[in-house]
Each structure stands twice: as C-alpha cells, then as structure tokens.
Amino acid sequence: MFELLFTSFPALIRYWMLKRRGEPITVWNMKTAVFMWAVLAFGLFLVIFYYHPKTYAATVPFRTVSVVPQTAGPVTEIAVENGQHVEPGDLLFRIDDSAQQAALAEANAQLAVIAAAEAKAQDTLIVAQSGVDSAKAQLKRLSDNLSDARILVSRGTGRDDEVQRLEASVASTEAELRAAEAQLDLARIDIEESLPAQRQAAQTTIDRARVALDFTSVKSEIAGTVTQLTLSIGSPATTLVLRPAMILIPDRAKDLPVRITAGFSQVARSTIYDGMPAEIACESNANLAFRNSVMPARIVSVQPAIATGQVVPDSQLVDMQMAAQRGTVLVFLELLYKEHEALLLDGSGCMVQAYTTNIEGTAGHMIAATGIIKAVGLRAKVLGSILSGVGLVGGSEH
C-alpha cells in the first residue's frame, strides 16, 4: 500500500499534465505513466522486501522443569498450589514414608548390633591377651623346671622320668600358647578389620535409607512458579517422566539476557547478519497507546543449520519428499534496552522486522531509508493485531 503511494508520482504528473492541456484521461494517454508506476512499484517492492525481511514466526522461548519424584507412593501432603512462587528447597509435596521409616529403623538396629559386637570384641581381646600372658608365664615356669631337672640328671641326683614329664608339659604349654596367640589375632582382626567393615556397610545402609526417606519429601530445586499441579491427597505419585506431578516455570536468570527466536525465510539468509538492527512487536504487548508495543532489538546470532534437514538414525529410510516443506532460518535476537525485557511475556507470539544498514555508499543509504516503509507497516500490523484480538475484524473471540 505505502509502496504504491510512494511510486505513484509518474501517474499523478501525467494526470496533471492531461488535465492542464484539457485532453481526455484515457488508458491510452495514461499507459506510459501507469507502466512506469508499475515498474517503480515493483522495484521498490523488491528492494524493501529483499533487504528488510520480516517474519511472523517469532516467540519468546522459555523452559520448564517437570517435577517427578524419585520414589512412588500415595501423596500424604501438598504444600503448594497452582500459581504459587517457590524458592529452592521449598517443600512441594510429601509421599507416604512408612516403608522408608521401617528401612531406616532396621538399618539403625543393625548398627546397634554391630556396636554391641564391637564391645564384645574388646572383651574378647582382653580375655585372649590374658590367655596369652598366662600361657607365657606357665611356659616360662615349666621351662625353668625342665632346665633344673636336666641339671640334676646330669649330676646323677635327678630322675629321667621327671625330665620326660616336664618336656611333655612344655610341649603342651607351647601348643596352648600358640592357640591363645591365634585367638588374640582373631580378636584383633575382628576389631581392626571385620567390625569396621561391618560398621561401614551398616552406615552405608543407613545413609541409603535416609536418602530414600528424603525422597519422600519432594522439594523445589529452583526458584519459579508452580503450574499444572494435578496431585491430590491420596493420589499415587509416579516416577514416570512422562507423568510429572507438576511443572515449574523457572524465574529468568538476572545475569542472562532474554533472547527472542525467529524463523525467517531461507531467501532472507543472504541479507541477515549478526548485529542487524530489528524491531520486535509481540501480541501480548500490543495496546492502543502503542506504548512499548514495538521494541528495538538486534540479531545476535544465526543458527548454522535448518531444522528440516536434520537426519537421525531410524528404522525407516529417509524420504526426501518430506523436505518439500521448507524450514526457516532460525535467528536469535536481544532487546537493545534491558528494561524492556521485563515487558516480554514468556511464550508470546511476536513479529520481527529486520532492517539492512550495512551497505556502504549512496545506494546503501537509499536502501536503509526504505526501511521506514516497513517500520510504518509493522505498526499497522500491530494495530491490525489489536483489532483482530478484540474481535473487530475476526480472529480470536473477545
């Protein structure tokens, strides 16, 4: 529309000249002017639409976090409601923990048994040490008696049978000493190796039982807003990822800019470049006062691939007929002014108008100047979206 008005001057001049001469206004008299008008309009259309691409396929993307418990069971408490804001560590809901409590009590009882066994092992060590000391004392006494008996026999005043009896007693006591030392080693192994390993295993069981018990209290890992809460008291909570208990919409990161994604025609790839100025008009920001309805932005990056060409391993062979539907060039945009980010509603549908300004010379300035036509058109589209949104010219019901 605007392009036709801007290029209509040949027809207007010819019309004025014919009226001044008093000649009739006919198709034959106007043919050259109309042809020039058509040529100029076509050229202007081509320049504007080629160098200043526009797309309606834009949105403010956002991510969600599905809340899926790590254990299953009936829900006993729900601590949040839809629309409630939560912080990291806030309780969301609880699951019946009777089985986990029983497992923790059993693990604690096992640890108590090991603690009693450790006390008993200490007593066993003392008894074994006493047995070794007693056997050593007995062996020393018998060895001394045997030595004295042998001296007496050598002098002719002792008896051989007494020496033999003492030798047997020494041998028996040595065996008892070895047995006592073995008992002492066993007691030390129990205290230094076996029981510590059993205690470690029991402590691990307790830790595992506590973790399982903690899983019954489902808490938020992020700061965000609760939505799509479908649980109720008594309903079973499941660990299936495809059936989350609720969804959290995370708060925006304060240190990261909000990025808008847009899909341009593949033909526009040759004119789109990093840093390209653009304007963004989101439907959720449209208003009759046009305040912040159109916000300045810039293209920060262009995705180096088009989604429709993606190929993944599958049991089916790829049929390239599916590529007949052309994909779009995905670009990422950021707003020029940080304060505008708070005005963007996550998930809002947007229009993006980009402007070519990187061509040098007079031609580049002329091409950049034609962008004002697209800027006016974008604002007209915003007005159209308002009229459509309230139901005046069709569209959604109001």
Spell out the per-residue pLDDT of the chain, length 398, in tens.
Answer: 555 555 565 666 766 776 777 777 766 666 677 777 677 777 777 888 899 999 999 999 999 999 999 999 999 999 999 999 999 999 999 999 999 999 999 999 998 988 888 888 787 878 878 887 887 888 788 787 778 777 777 777 767 777 688 778 878 878 887 887 788 788 788 777 887 888 888 899 999 999 999 999 999 999 999 999 988 899 888 888 888 999 999 999 888 899 999 999 999 999 999 999 999 999 888 888 888 899 999 999 999 998 888 877 777 777 777 667 788 999 999 999 999 999 999 999 999 999 999 999 998 898 898 888 889 889 888 888 888 876 544 444 43
Evaluate whether residue 386 is within a structural domain: yes
Label residues 98-113 b or e (16+ Cβ within 10 Å = b).
eebeebbeebeebbee
Evaluate whether residue 47 is within a structural domain: no
- Same domain for 91 and 102, yes or no, is no
Rounded CA separation 243/46 (Å):
51
Question: What is the separation of C-alpha 314 from the centre of its chain, rounded to a whole number of angstroms?
Answer: 26
Range of the domain at 24: 1-37
Evaluate whether residue 199 is within a structural domain: yes
The CATH number of the domain holding residue 210 is 1.10.287
Rounded CA separation 75/80 (Å):
13
How many of the other CB atoms lie within 10 Å of CB of 280?
A: 26
Sheet holding 236-237, edge to edge: 217-219, 91-95, 73-78, 236-237
Rounded CA separation 297/369 (Å):
18
- Same domain for 166 and 257, yes or no, is no
- Same domain for 275 and 369, yes or no, is yes
Let me know: does 132 contact 177? Beta carbons within 8 Å: yes
Rounded CA separation 286/293 (Å):
5
Evaluate whether residue 397 is within a structural domain: no
CA atoms within 13 A on the CB side of 298: 11
Q: Rg (Cα) of the chain, in Å, rounded?
A: 45
* The total number of residues written for the chain in this structure: 398
- Same domain for 211 and 228, yes or no, is no
- Cα pseudo-dihedral 318, 324, 325, 330, rounded to 10: 80
- Same domain for 28 and 112, yes or no, is no
- Same domain for 161 and 193, yes or no, is yes
Give me the number of domains the chain comprises.
4
- Same domain for 56 and 85, yes or no, is no
Cβ neighbors of 238 (< 8 A, separation 6 or more) are 68, 69, 72
pTM (two decimals): 0.70
Let me know: does 291 contact 343? Beta carbons within 8 Å: no
Structure-block tokens of residue 114: 């090991």
